[in-house]
Chains A and B, each alone.
Chain A
Amino acid sequence: MSDLGTTSTAGGPLLEVTDLVKHFPIKSGLLIDREVDQVRAVDGVSFTVNKGETLGLVGESGSGKSTTCRVVLQLLKPTSGSVKFEGQEIAGKSRRDLRPLRREMQMIFQDPYASLNPRKRIGQIVGDQLKIQKIASGKELRTKVEGLLERVGLSPEHYNRFPHEFSGGQRQRIGIARALALGPKLVFCDEPVSALDVSIQAQIVNLLDDLQDEMGLTYVFVAHDIGVVRHISDRIAVMNQGKIVETGDADQVCEHPRDAYTKKLLAAVPIPDPRESRARRERATAG
């Protein structure tokens, strides 16, 4: 973790995370719950995200990537550590104090089937936060939401539809419109394409790319698929068992990994090239 922020071409740090820790207690006992052990979901994680860049967070399930996102966003209270957004400490702030910050930081979720309220219309799903944050109402709200829907590749006529009327890819577009409604600076994308078909994955990745260029967004992109992470990220942080084991420029990490775990992870990714994967198998049996 020595080369944090060295290779980025983007502006200064937008988010600084230092020694972030989140432990979940394991309780046991019949009458009195005693804490017998802890799950060290996030165990001393530090990273910076610069303005306009994409930091990829990659790791296997259970490595603590999603928990890291949730703790940074203060959706979960950190056990210890510091999270600074634009130089301002946000760890330990109350919900009320965090509310203005919600405009700046948003999240896109993995499962487009579970992350949209089935009883709400698309217009409400995307527009409610504009109302809560008292940014727009009435006709202005509607125009704004319709504009957002169009921007993410949906039609303004979808305003009054329900989530079940949409396919997985379209639902993910709704999730993106919702995350962008408040004009955030930083967007956490938690496995945004892993539930989608291959052809739709490429569409969503391209859409996220375009939106970043257009709106000057900064992304923290979390995924287990190292190929997707490398495509979209400027820098990559590899997580294993609650710790970041390697950080660096995206191509650098994928082509010349230094950490043993990163090497193992990369070696397991199937190569969509039969000759290459045959050669790799032969090398493996020879070695």
Chain B
Amino acid sequence: MSVTPETAPAPAGGAGGGPLLAVENLRVGFATEDGRVQAVDGVNFTLEPGEVLAIVGESGSGKSVTAQTLIGLTRSPNSHIEGSVRLSGEELTTKSERELQKVRGSKIAMIFQDPMTSMNPVYTVGKQIIEAIRAHDSSVNRRDARGQAVELLGAVGIPDPERRVNDYPHEFSGGMRQRAMIAMGLALEPSVLIADEPTTALDVTIQAQILHLIQDLNRSRGLATILITHDLGVVAEVADRVLVMYGGKVVEQGTLDDIFYDPQHPYTWGLLGSLTRLDQPRPHRLPQISGAPPSLLNLPKGCAFRPRCPHEFGKCSEVPSLAAHLLEDPKHLDRCWLDAEKKRQLRQVEPNRIGLEEPV
């Protein structure tokens, strides 16, 4: 693989004071046998250095497709991508595949859910990290690259990295494999890390370690992170801001505290209510969200959450826009027709519990 020298250095912050990463009106559609699937339908967000943005949603909500599109992984003959993704002011959606390869890894890195299948089983862990380093900078010799790999493995908390660098992926445990994936992601010192369900396959004790690792890296390196997850507990531990996605659209967006203490969208209430929390007395029954997430082939007319929402009314047949409804908090956006005051009443299913329930 030929690598040309980088045209622009990756600055820690955005060029010219803009955000590090700006996504504007991103739309991703796929042509399928059964018709067009609009997997992502108008997503906007920005990301600053050192920030952790969580994208929360269930399967089919478009959270992974959004993340994959940022680095061009959804490009294919049947996909249709609109909108803009700018990294330090540089447009990524119009870049050629070859130009994008310089961005992937070196500026935006991605780690995946399953650490078992995201590594090549027939190469040692070290070799895979070395390959990533040398693919982007052929001037680094093998020995230096190996040194870097050892250093990286040490940095992500692999014990005895000098020896473990020669291990094959199957000799690593699940948690160590995920650490090695993170090491690989960090090899080229990217400014953005996309972590797609990085802890879902791991035990809770390992999950806590990995989350702390991501947090440390955020602080020590100013690494901006997009964390994709369905677990609100994980979100509460590490995120600064949250996007809640449903049916390909962002339905609510705000700071961590906004989402947990003043959630505006009934779907967010439902997600919070569905949690089995250890820090609260257990409710007799979980306030569940009825029904199933919609098929993207056949989205309901109007608000996509309408068929599952006990609070729907006439207005819901029109698609609500993502807007600020709280005067005191113009950065807290949601997609719901309900009146803000009414929402505060409706979401309180028990004195100390937010959830989604039929009003009695």
Residues on A lying within 8 angstroms of B by beta carbon are: 60-61, 167-170, 197-203, 205-206, 209, 224-228, 230-231, 251, 254, 264-277
Contacts and interface: CB of A to CB of B under 8 A. Distances in A.
Interface in B191-242: 203-205, 207-208, 211, 230-237
Interface residues of B, number: 40
Contacts of A251: 282
Contacts of B131: none
Interface in B278-305: 278-279, 282, 285-290, 292-293
B53 interface: no
Interface stretch (B5-13, B135-143, B269-277): B269-277
A197 B288 contact: no
A199 B276 contact: no
B285 A206 contact: yes
9 contacts: A61-B174, A200-B58, A224-B204, A267-B208, A268-B208, A269-B278, A272-B233, A273-B260, A273-B277
B285 A272 contact: no
B278 A199 contact: no
Nearest to A281: B237
B171 to A, nearest CB: 16
B46 interface: no
B204 A226 contact: yes
A168 B293 CA distance: 11
B318 interface: no
Contact of A199 (B205, B277, B289): B289
Contact of A254 (B204, B261, B278, B290): B278
B99 interface: no
Contacts of A230: 276, 278, 282
A264 B232 CA distance: 21
A16 B59 CA distance: 40
A270 B59 contact: no
B47 interface: no
B288 A277 contact: no
Interface of B: 58-59, 174, 203-205, 207-208, 211, 230-237, 256-257, 260-261, 270-279, 282, 285-290, 292-293
Contacts of A269: 204, 233, 278
A199 B290 CA distance: 8
Contacts of B59: 168, 197
A251 B233 CA distance: 20
A273 B259 CA distance: 10
A273 B279 contact: yes
Contacts of A209: 285
B274 A61 contact: no
Nearest to B270: A199
Given A197-B59, A206-B285, A268 B292 contact: no
Given A270-B234, A270-B236, A277-B237, A60 B204 contact: yes
Contacts of B256: 274
Given A198-B230, A227-B278, A203 B290 contact: yes
A203 B276 contact: no
Contacts of B279: 271, 273, 276
Contacts of A226: 204, 278
B259 to A, nearest CB: 9
Contact of A227 (B203, B272, B273, B277): B277
B257 A270 contact: no
A274 B236 contact: yes
B276 A225 contact: yes
A271 B278 contact: yes
Contacts of A271: 233, 236-237, 277-279
B288 A203 contact: yes
Nearest to B215: A281
A14 B306 CA distance: 45
B155 to A, nearest CB: 20
B289 A264 contact: no
A122 B116 CA distance: 33
A226 B58 CA distance: 21
Given A265-B205, A270-B207, A201 B233 contact: no
B237 A270 contact: yes
A275 to B, nearest CB: 8
A206 to B, nearest CB: 5
Given A199-B270, A277-B237, A272 B275 contact: yes
